[in-house]
Chains A and B, each alone.
Chain A
Amino acid sequence: DTGVSQDPRHKITKRGQNVTFRCDPISEHNRLYWYRQTLGQGPEFLTYFQNEAQLEKSRLLSDRFSAERPKGSFSTLEIQRTEQGDSAMYLCASSGPTGDLFGYTFGSGTRLTVV
């Protein structure tokens, strides 16, 4: 396990459809984060998990967004009734216990295009 894996790498969907992204963190990392990045902007925090518990959600995470991390392993991010404004790169990151900041590793991201 050499890094954080995200699937799919690219997703094109029609407005109104639901999409789901998957993130597999580095196996020994107990914290998992989702960020969203639009063109010309830095990544924006969406939510994070410690093990299976979702401990914080950004106000950016509207009711159409839901994230899960069953059993504290992989995580999924679902967007329901997609809108064109949801088009962005969705980044997942993982880290070890508090203080292990150097282990904050991003996956390759899922680029979502809503048409």
Chain B
Amino acid sequence: QKEVEQNSGPLSVPEGAIASLNCTYSDRGSQSFFWYRQYSGKSPELIMFIYSNGDKEDGRFTAQLNKASQYVSLLIRDSQPSDSATYLCARERGEGGGNKLTFGTGTQLKVEL
């Protein structure tokens, strides 16, 4: 079982819709979770991080964490074509290994006009 699992997609949503991206993790010792956006050929760009159960909102983005279910999600409201990218979920264990991140394989999002 992979430590961080994501559906590779592609996930297609119409412009203006809500895109829902999901991620599960296996290590209950995981403490913090991150969503990165990666355009083709570019490096990952941090969108949000979350470490408490519940929701965290930032503009059009909402991260949701449920530690009991080992589940993290990212909602993108009013999706725009510029949101089309691969979204990487990552977890940080929070032990003495620095801020090492373990990433999922990413979900490709396509926002269609």
A: residues with CB less than 8 A from B are 31, 33, 40-45, 48, 50, 55-56, 89, 91, 95, 98, 101-102, 104-109
The A contact surface, by secondary structure, is strand
Within 8 Å CB of A101, what residues of B?
A: 32, 34, 49, 92, 99
- Say whether A91 contacts B105, CB under 8 Å: no
Given contacts A41-B105, A101-B49, contact A108 B42 (CB under 8 A): yes
Q: Categorize the interface residue count of chain B.
A: 20 to 34
- Say whether A43 contacts B44, CB under 8 Å: yes
Given contacts A101-B32, A101-B92, A108-B43, contact A50 B99 (CB under 8 A): no
Cβ distance B76 to chain A, nearest Cβ, rounded Å = 19
Complex Cα distance, B78 from A37, in Å, reads 30
Complex Cα distance, B108 from A42, in Å, reads 12
B: residues with CB less than 8 A from A are 4, 8, 32, 34, 42-46, 49, 88, 90, 92, 97-106
Complex Cα distance, B98 from A55, in Å, reads 8
The residue of chain A having its C-beta at the shortest distance from the C-beta of B88 within the complex is: A42
- Say whether B103 contacts A48, CB under 8 Å: no
Complex Cα distance, B92 from A102, in Å, reads 12
- Say whether B49 contacts A40, CB under 8 Å: no
Given contacts A108-B42, A108-B43, contact A43 B103 (CB under 8 A): yes
12 contacts between A and B (CB under 8 A): A31-B98, A33-B99, A40-B8, A41-B105, A42-B88, A43-B44, A43-B88, A45-B101, A101-B32, A104-B46, A106-B43, A107-B43
The residue of chain B having its C-beta at the shortest distance from the C-beta of A92 within the complex is: B43
